[in-house]
Amino acid sequence: MKASELREMVPAELQTALDELFQEQLNLRFQKSTGQISDMTRIKEVRRDIARIKTVMRELELAEVE
């Protein structure tokens, strides 16, 4: 997910995407601990996508204050 794509979303969509990524991160952690994970790089991608969404959400918060 690119930051430019995220900036086009409304806050409700961002929150939904964030919730889905948290759920995926949880599932990936379980897969890793049981040795069932096939793509280890997906963990890193999900973590970075979560950070991107949080950054965009914070930018929106700061834009509302000004």
4-59 pLDDT per residue, tens: 999 999 999 999 999 999 999 999 999 999 999 989 999 999 999 999 999 999 99
Q: What is the chain written as a DSSP string? A: --HHHHHTS-HHHHHHHHHHHHHHHHHHHHHHHHT--S-THHHHHHHHHHHHHHHHHHHHHHHHH-
Residue listed under structure tokens 């979303």: 9
Q: Are 14 and 56 in contact (CB under 8 A)?
A: yes
In CATH terms, is domain 3-65 a member of 1.10.287.310?
yes
CA distance 63 to 66: 5
Q: Which amino acid is at 33?
A: S
Per domain, the residue ranges of the chain are: 3-65
| pLDDT, position 43 | 96
| pLDDT, position 52 | 97
For the entire predicted model, the pTM comes to 0.91
Residue 66 has pLDDT above 90, yes or no: no
